[in-house]
């Protein structure tokens, strides 16, 4: 690494540590409010899969920042119930949803080759990761609803992390499952319709089966993440 890159990385790490000192003691509501003291709304990117825990972030944002755009990656492989749930929450919470789609030719390739069977990583890359790249380039901070209790990978995350040139913001990272369930109940927020059928976490239909937590995602595989949230622990620089 060149001297310049070392200095740049040190400055980035310093900023990251400072943000975490400021934001970590706050409640999740205060974290979201304070985020917009540091960043303009046009600099903030929010994504949602409209999965089992998505409604919590969407509900809080609809109260704290109702004009914030919500980006939804329409992989072409969502359950019909997920698309119906997306519409239900959009109407209920008056969300500003923007749908993003994979390249049509590449998506058709994954379909014709049933790529989710032979190369799940490449299938995710084409249908989920690549479509978001252009959107990411237009923003400075990415708001995510990840929570530490969901996976071992997520248990090591701080409120702010760095992914390449983007800051990742996890306002709910220290919200435990009990608090989540309490908030869902007290606000009478609708659950994803597949939860009642035993789906603890919901992604694309080909790679999701019934199971507690995330155990139904890429079952019988070592894969646990789609690739949208890599490289936190290495803090890899993308020059």
Hey, which residues are catalytic here? 226
Is-contact 216 201, C-beta < 8 A? yes
User: Is residue 196 classed as helix, strand or coil in its secondary structure?
Assistant: helix
DSSP letter assigned to residue 189: P
Q: Which residue has the tokens 């519409």?
A: 87
As a whole number of angstroms, the distance between CA 166 and CA 142 comes to 7
CB atoms within 10 A of CB 16: 17
Residue 218: both structure tokens together? 């890429």
What is the DSSP code (8-state) at residue 83?
H
The CA–CA distances, whole Å, from 3 to 6, 16, 113 equal 5, 20, 46
Residues 6+ apart with CB under 8 A from 206: 77, 116, 117
CA distance 203 to 81: 11
């Amino acid at each position: 690494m060149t001297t310049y890159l070392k200095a740049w990385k040190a400055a980035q790490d310093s900023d990251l540590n400072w943000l975490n000192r400021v934001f970590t003691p706050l409640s999740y509501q205060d974290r979201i409010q304070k985020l917009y003291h540091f960043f303009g709304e046009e600099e903030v990117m929010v994504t949602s899969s409209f999965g089992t825990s998505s409604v919590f972030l969407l509900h809080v944002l609809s109260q704290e920042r109702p004009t914030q755009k919500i980006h939804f990656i329409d992989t072409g492989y969502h359950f019909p119930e997920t698309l119906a749930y997306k519409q239900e929450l959009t109407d209920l919470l008056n969300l500003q949803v923007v749908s993003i789609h994979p390249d049509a030719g590449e998506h058709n390739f994954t379909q014709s080759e049933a790529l989710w069977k032979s190369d799940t990583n490449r299938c995710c890359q084409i249908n989920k990761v690549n479509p978001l790249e252009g959107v990411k380039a237009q923003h400075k901070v990415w708001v995510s609803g990840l929570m530490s209790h969901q996976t071992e990978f997520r248990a090591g995350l701080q409120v702010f992390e760095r992914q390449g040139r983007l800051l990742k913001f996890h306002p709910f990272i220290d919200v435990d499952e009990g608090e989540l369930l309490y908030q869902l109940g007290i606000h009478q927020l609708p659950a994803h319709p597949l939860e009642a059928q035993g789906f603890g976490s919901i992604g694309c239909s080909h790679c999701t089966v019934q199971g507690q937590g995330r155990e139904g995602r890429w079952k019988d595989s070592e894969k646990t993440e789609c690739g949208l949230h890599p490289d936190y622990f290495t803090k890899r620089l993308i020059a």
